[in-house]
Amino acid sequence: MLVRVTETLSPRPSGKGGAGSVEPHSAPRSAGPLVHRAWWVALVCFVALVGAAGFRATPSVFIDPLHKEFGWSHGTISFAVGLNVLLYGLTAPFASALMDRYGIRQVVTAALLLISAGSGLTVFMRAEWQLVLCWGLLVGIGSGSMALAFAATVANRWFVARRGLVSGILTAGSATGQLVFLPLVALLVEGPGWRTASLVVCGSALAVVPLVVWLLRDRPEDVGLRPYGAGADHVTPEADTGSALRRTLSVLRDAARTRVFWLLAGSFAICGASSNGLMSTHFVPAAHDHGMAVPVAASLLALIGVLDLVGTVCSGWLTDRFDARRLLAVYYALRGLSLLVLPMLFAASVQPPMLFFIIFYGLDWVATVPPTMALCREHFGADGAVVFGWVLASHQAGASLIAFLAGLVRDATGTYDLAWTGTGVLCALAALMALVVQRRTRQSGAH
């Protein structure tokens, strides 16, 4: 499909909008770039999300080394991981409002610097509170500012058409970060040690900063364009120049008065519990408990990242075409079934059933994000990105709670089995919540 070059007013901010405009269906090669600037912005955002995902890929391979070196319990280390995950979610809605107030580029740059500082300072820690400060606080706030609300903001500002597809691609950036870093981090932990792995992650996040400063722009109007897919009658919403805190809280107040918000927030909390909280944090140590080598287990988790790239992009494509509520119900139901059988699949080596689980679970990993974004946009309009930030906060709250509780379960029982099966049951509840959203939306006739 040809890219909409008729919307290009000039390739640089210095040009005039009306001069040299192209009539529909005229030859694009003589009129301007074949690729709308929005796609380049999406690419930069994708790379930035990959950089931010680097540190979030490390907790699962750091748990055992930290336990052995410092003697800290799984519960203590999981608390730091849980704080990281919680702040990741709580920061997201405020970051979305800050992007409206100060600009995407400034917020993303600051976030990457915080991630780099937190991961770099980790190598000097000697006490548990330092782990909580670096790994939990600094990286939690930094990664939260680079959360999926960032992807929603970019998709909403730069795209009218293909928003679902773009949401899926940007969401997959986090999984791609896991894909790129996790096997390398596992090998570094097994070889030079976890400190070297931390420094590699620190440098990778820092390396993305110049790219963001150079190429990322806040809105298409900044470079003389309309959003991709926007018609001539498109009206750009005015930027909110008021208090980011006031707007974020007022959006939450208004959204919290609707049943849709609580259903989306509740189901997405279960999504976070079953993905970031349980699988990302505890799959590698759980596999290691059954005799599997850490690099092998990390590679399996990275394979989930490969498949998630396919699954999430396909989910975005499906979201543009089918009922987002039914998609969510199917995704959650399938995820729950897979978690119920996982405890029976662990072994010292990778067997075909485990490989089948990885493929199945990877395709479903965060396929829930594009339809959830779409429902926030559908019900809350211009505030959809901020509302999604709050929904994402619930996602991370669920992830934080399960990350911590699963560590306690492991300390108390010596196995993660109860955590896997309990979370599988919760996924069935999330599927039912998604179907309730569907019925109430049709009755209300909203949007």
Q: Which tokens is 118 given?
A: 């937190």
pLDDT score at 103: 83
Query: What's the whole-model pTM score?
Result: 0.65
**Pairwise pLDDT comparison (96 vs 13), residue with the higher score:** 96
Distance CA 277, CA 264 (A): 18
**Could you tell me if residue 7 is inside a domain?**
no
Q: Does residue 310 contact residue 176 with C-beta atoms inside 8 Å?
A: no
> Does a structural domain hold residue 98?
yes
How confident is the model at residue 13, as a pLDDT? 42
**Digit-coded pLDDT (tens) for 351-391:** 999 999 999 888 887 789 889 988 988 888 778 878 887 88
pLDDT confidence of residue 334: 93
Mapped onto helix, strand or coil, the DSSP state of residue 232 is coil
Amino acid at 58: T
pLDDT digits (tens, 9 = 90+) for 240-251: 555 667 877 888
Residue with tokens 């995820």: 335
- Whether residue 28 is contained in a domain is answered as no
What is residue 220's DSSP assignment?
G
Those residues with Cβ within 8 angstroms of residue 363's Cβ, 6 or more apart along the chain or in another chain: 307, 308, 310, 311, 314
Length of the chain: 447
225 bridge partner residues = 8
Whether 3 is covered by a domain: the verdict is no
For 163-181, give the DSSP string.
HHHHHHHHHHHHHHHHHHH
Q: What pLDDT sits at residue 150?
A: 77
Residue 158 belongs to some domain of the structure: yes
* Structure confidence at residue 6 (pLDDT): 37
Q: Hey, what are 108's tokens?
A: 């993303």
Q: What are phi and psi of 6, to 5 degrees?
A: -70, -15
What whole-number percentage of the chain has pLDDT above 70?
A: 83
**Nearest-angstrom CA–CA distance, 294 and 188:** 11
Tokens coding 201: 């992650």
- The crossing angle, in degrees rounded to 10, of helices 37-56 and 148-158 is 180
Phi, psi dihedral angles at 88 (to 5 degrees):
-55, -40
Domain count across the chain: 1
112: CATH: 1.20.1250.20
Q: Which residue has the higher pLDDT, 24 or 239?
A: 239
Q: Look at residue 238 and tell me if it is in a domain.
A: no
pLDDT for res 168? 75
How buried is residue 253: exposed, middle or buried, by Cβ count under 10 Å (0-12/13-18/19+)?
exposed
Residue 57: what pLDDT?
64
- Orientation angle between helical segments 384-413 and 148-158, nearest 10 degrees: 160
Residue (of 407, 372, 419) closest to 391 by Cα position: 372
CB distance 88 to 398 below 8 Å: no
Q: CB neighbours (10 Å) of residue 24?
A: 7
DSSP character at residue 31: T
Give residue-wise pLDDT tens across range 50-91: 777 666 667 667 888 888 888 888 778 878 877 887 787 778
pLDDT at residue 8 above 60?
no
Per-residue pLDDT band at 447 (split at 50, 70, 90): very low
Q: CA angle, corner 251, sides to 247 and 103, nearest 5?
A: 45
> And the tokens for 10?
């000039």
User: 261 in a domain, yes or no?
Assistant: yes
CA gap 383, 377 in Å, rounded:
8
What amino acid is encoded at 183 in this protein? P
Confidence of residue 148 (pLDDT cuts 50, 70, 90): low
> Does residue 22 belong to any structural domain of this protein?
no
Q: Is 8 helix (H, G, I), strand (E, B) or coil?
A: strand
Residue 395: how many other CB atoms lie within 10 Å = 33
b/e per residue 373-392 (b: at least 16 CB within 10 A): bbbbbebbeebbbbbbbbbb
Structural domain of 306: 35-221+244-441
pLDDT at residue 33 in the model: 58
pLDDT at residue 21 in the model: 40
Six token digits for residue 320: 């543009």
Mean pLDDT, range 230-238, rounded to an integer: 66
Question: pLDDT-derived band of residue 327, with 50, 70 and 90 as boundaries?
Answer: very high
